[in-house]
Amino acid sequence: MYDFRGRVALVTGASSGIGRAVAQLYAQNGAKVVVSDVNDEGGAETVRLIEQAGGEAAYFHADVSDPQACEALVQFALDRYGRLDFACNNAGIAGESNPTGSYSIEGWKKVIDINLNGVFYCMRYEIPAMLKNGGGSIVNMASILGQVGFANAPAYVTAKHGLIGLTRNAAIEYAKSNIRVNSIGPAFIKTPLLAPLESDPNLMNMIVALHPIGRLGQPEEVAELVMWLSSEKASFVTGSYYAVDGGYLAQ
């Protein structure tokens, strides 16, 4: 357990999956949590689960592809709780499945807008808020596909590679200001994002087989790493990329 009492955390894409697990674990460790998503029903459920467990949280609807929405989200955290200490920029989409030569322009723009631009927009407003506190920790949710390619996912792969570069750049810029910025690279995690694939057992078996550990990851396993990176136990860690991948990238 970590002592995050008196701290405020912001989590995007927190209506389900990894984002929900991160929000819940921040709250379990004592932080007040701003839960954000475009899925209002799922976001409200995340808040309910946190409050049911004795934590404190508030929901704010924000489309991270809109810079004004990201600004409003951070301002909501400041208005509601008076500060911002931690941010987990987790919101993202998988996008369509097509090779580069036939990938739709609209699909490309949507993935880049949410998965890459959205993280920049959030950081653009999170960082000034953290500077007012004298520091903070930002964890950006990348992917194993921020390190390697994956056929028929050019937009997603590009966005996640770019996200890791953005993370490293911000880490260098704000290291002396006591703001640490790191990224995490999950492999295939058992979340609603994989739900469309579960109807095909053969495909799911193929996906599981990509991981030497022999199973998919769980959202809570990713959330645990977010907690460590947010905590003072990781005080000398910034600009880093950590895979949570069951050995996927070791092959």
pLDDT at residue 195, as a whole number: 77
Percent of the chain with pLDDT over 70: 100
pLDDT at residue 200, as a whole number: 86
Give the separation between CA 144 and CA 128, rounded to whole angstroms.
29
Query: Sheet containing 8-12: which strands, arranged edge to edge?
Result: 56-61, 32-37, 8-12, 86-89, 136-141, 179-186, 241-244
pLDDT at residue 219, as a whole number: 97
Structure tokens that stand for 5 in this block: 């009492």
- Residue 186: beta bridge partners? 244
Mean of the per-residue pLDDT values of the chain? 97
- The mean per-residue pLDDT over the stretch 15-25 comes to 98
Q: How confident is the model at residue 193 (pLDDT cuts 50, 70, 90)?
A: confident
User: Over 80: is that where the pLDDT of 2 sits?
Assistant: yes
Give the separation between CA 138 and CA 9, rounded to whole angstroms.
10
- pTM for the model stands at 0.96
pLDDT at residue 201, as a whole number: 87
The string of pLDDT tens digits covering residues 135-173 is 999 999 999 999 999 999 999 999 999 999 999 999 999
The string of pLDDT tens digits covering residues 73-113 is 999 999 999 999 999 999 999 999 999 999 999 999 999 99
Among 137, 140, 121, 5, smallest CA distance to 62 is for 121
Among 170, 115, 181, 174, smallest CA distance to 142 is for 115
DSSP string across 92-142: --------GGG--HHHHHHHHIIIIIHHHHHHHHHHHHHHHHT-EEEEEE-
Alpha-helical regions (H) of the chain = 17-28, 40-52, 67-81, 105-112, 118-133, 154-174, 201-209, 219-230
pLDDT at residue 194, as a whole number: 81
**How far is CA 70 from each of CA 11, 103, 158, 238, rounded to the nearest angstrom?**
12, 28, 22, 23
Please, which residues have CB within 8 angstroms of residue 114's CB and are 6 or more apart in sequence? 64, 65, 91, 92, 93
Among 140, 125, 151, 164, smallest CA distance to 230 is for 140
The superfamily (CATH) of domain 8-189+218-250 is NAD(P)-binding Rossmann-like Domain (3.40.50.720)
Which of 23-37, 132-146, 167-181, 201-215 has the weakest average pLDDT? 201-215
Amino acid identity, position 53: A
Q: Mind telling me the catalytic residues? A: 156
